[in-house]
Amino acid sequence: MSIRKTTIIGSGPAGWTAALYAARATLNPLVFEGSSPNLPGGQLMITSDVENYPGFPKGILGPELMQLFKEQAVRFGAEARTENIVKLDLSQRPFKLTSENGEVTESQTVILAMGANAKLLGIKNEKELMARGAGVSACATCDGAFYRNQDVAVVGGGDTAMEEAQFLTRFATSVTLIHRRNEFRASRIMIDRAEQNPKIKFVLEEEVQELLITNDALSGLKLKNQSLEVQGLFVAIGHQPNTNILKGQIALESTGYLKTLGKSSKTEVEGLFACGDIQDSVYRQAVTAAGSGCEAAMDSERYLETLGS
């Protein structure tokens, strides 16, 4: 079995950008792009219009953008496998990666780009409306502008929910923040700002039970004790970084995110790099993920040079 120089796990904007840079640096990267339940292409595969990725002035569909990312990396020699990695052994060099069909890949460096998933409410039609851009979203920065002069709701009681609600008031006529308790997890300053915003109203001790649909798009919410007419629902109940295969092998932040060192993609394990949402709980944008993918490939290349590879 030949030993790979660089293997990339994950195929969102971070993974494919790392693959592009690694391929152009002649590292012949192998990309495990995932398979069900991990979507090859990552979170953009469940969004419709992407209007904030530079270079696409008319916007582009998320799945189309990811196809272009892949084509560009493959053009320079990146190799894709539509499989999940089920085991990553960091205790030996080269690293050993076991895919779901039992095949083992050995690699001198590994770039982790498995991303994070927005937690969803798990109610009927939620994922489908989100995929069609028909009223449900987990990212106000990405989709807020589609709800100009409409009524929207945000669900969640943390800083993200406060921030998203605040941001959405730039576009929406009204923003209703729905939280399941009567106390917020968010910081005082974020709550104060939201409370001072006349466009935001609060509905507490409530839960979204059903999404009401008219003409194939969201038209309202059935809560436990009332109904609300809204055209948009922003789910802001946290994110889950995909770190399962790392558990017990490397320290994670208290939030579950992977730690990278200083201004780099390096992790505490030599030869192991991370990029994109798996290590970013703050920005979580396609463009920032892509930028960090570039950094991971460059850090990986420099590390290989120190090994004389």
| Residues whose CB is less than 8 angstroms from the CB of residue 105 and which lie 6 or more positions away in sequence, other chains included | 1, 4, 7, 30, 96, 97, 98, 99
- Residue closest to ligand NDP when measured from CB atoms: 158
Beta bridge partners of 174: 151
Looking at the Cβ atoms of 20 and 155, the one nearer to ligand NDP is: 155
What are the residues binding ligand NDP (CB under 6 A)?
Answer: 119, 121, 155-161, 163, 180-181, 185, 237-238, 255, 281
Q: At closest approach, how far in Å is the CB of 86 from ligand NDP?
A: 27
Q: Indicate which residues carry an active-site annotation.
A: 139, 142-143
Q: Which token pair is 61?
A: 């569909």
Give the integer Cα–Cα distance in Å for 271 and 303. Answer: 7
State the DSSP code for 43: G
Inter-axis angle of helices 159-168 and 188-196, to 10 degrees? Answer: 30
How do strand 4-9 and strand 104-112 relate by DSSP bridges? parallel
Looking at the Cβ atoms of 78 and 221, the one nearer to ligand NDP is: 221
Looking at the Cβ atoms of 64 and 183, the one nearer to ligand NDP is: 183
Give the integer Cα–Cα distance in Å for 273 and 61. Answer: 29
Q: At closest approach, how far in Å is the CB of 103 from ligand NDP?
A: 36
Looking at the Cβ atoms of 121 and 287, the one nearer to ligand NDP is: 121
Q: At closest approach, how far in Å is the CB of 273 from ligand NDP?
A: 23
Beta bridge partners of 7: 30, 110
Q: At closest approach, how far in Å is the CB of 101 from ligand NDP?
A: 34
Q: At closest approach, how far in Å is the CB of 58 from ligand NDP?
A: 30
Give the integer Cα–Cα distance in Å for 232 and 220. Answer: 8
Looking at the Cβ atoms of 208 and 290, the one nearer to ligand NDP is: 208
Contact 158, 236 (CB under 8 A): yes
Contact 202, 228 (CB under 8 A): no
| Residue 214 burial (C-beta neighbours within 10 Å; 0-12, 13-18, 19+) | exposed
